[in-house]
Amino acid sequence: MVPRLDGRRLFPGRRVGRAGRLKLVLFAVLFALLIAAQPAMAHHSFAAEFDSGQPIAAAGAVTRVDWTNPHAYLYIDVKDDSGKTVGWRFEMGSPNSLLRCGWSRGSVKPGDKVTVNGYRAKDSSHSGYTVRVESSDGRTLYSRPGE
């Protein structure tokens, strides 16, 4: 006998009522949601991308601000030790969390001089995670509530 849900016989010799079928379907849905959530949890792992042992303070001019979900990004041009200009990309919190921290779309604009304090990316690229941004006019903006 082949197990089937529609004929009330899931297991040979045992009848499964409506409550039993509902429990089975609920279990299957919950299991599928649990499996589907794994990539999202990996995406939100700070330790997978950034090195908390490598703090950075990068000063430069803002070139672009991407106010997008799930993370906003701040791009700045930084002069390295040899005087060469290097573009850096800093990840921030979501636009919603930035709004709760006092940011607005116009908080920093291209051309503004800022210092970004945060952590370097593990892949040694010119990128990092923003903890706070200090503007040349003395304002300090944080990337996440509670920082």
Nearest to 74 by CA among 86, 83, 62: 62
Q: Are residues 59 and 89 in the same domain?
A: yes
The pLDDT value recorded for residue 48 is 82
pLDDT tens figures, 2-40: 555 555 555 556 666 777 778 888 888 887 777 766 655
- pLDDT confidence of residue 100: 92
| Residue 108: CATH number of its domain | 2.40.50.140
pLDDT of residue 3: 55
Q: Decide if 147 is inside a domain.
A: no
Residue 2 lies in a domain: no
The reported pLDDT for the residue numbered 6 is 55
Whole-number pLDDT of residue 2: 55
DSSP string, 59-124: EEEEEEEE--SS--EEEEEEE-TTS-EEEEEEE---HHHHHHTT--TTSS-TT-EEEEEEEEETT-
What confidence score (pLDDT) does residue 9 get?
Answer: 56
| Same domain? 87 vs 137 | yes
pLDDT of 10 reads 57
pLDDT tens for 39-71 read 555 556 778 889 999 999 999 999 999 999 989
Percent of the chain with pLDDT over 70: 82
DSSP-based three-state secondary structure for 138: coil
Q: Is residue 37 part of a domain?
A: yes
Question: What is the band of 75 on the pLDDT scale with cuts at 50, 70, 90?
Answer: very high
pTM, to two decimals: 0.69
> Is residue 128 domain-shared with residue 78, that is, in the same domain?
yes
Whether residues 87 and 28 share a domain: the answer is: no
Question: Could you give the number of structural domains in the chain?
Answer: 2
Q: Given its phi and psi angles, is residue 81 left (phi above 0), alpha (psi -120 to 50 degrees) or beta?
A: alpha
Q: Is residue 22 part of a domain?
A: yes
Residue range(s) defining the domain that contains residue 32: 9-43
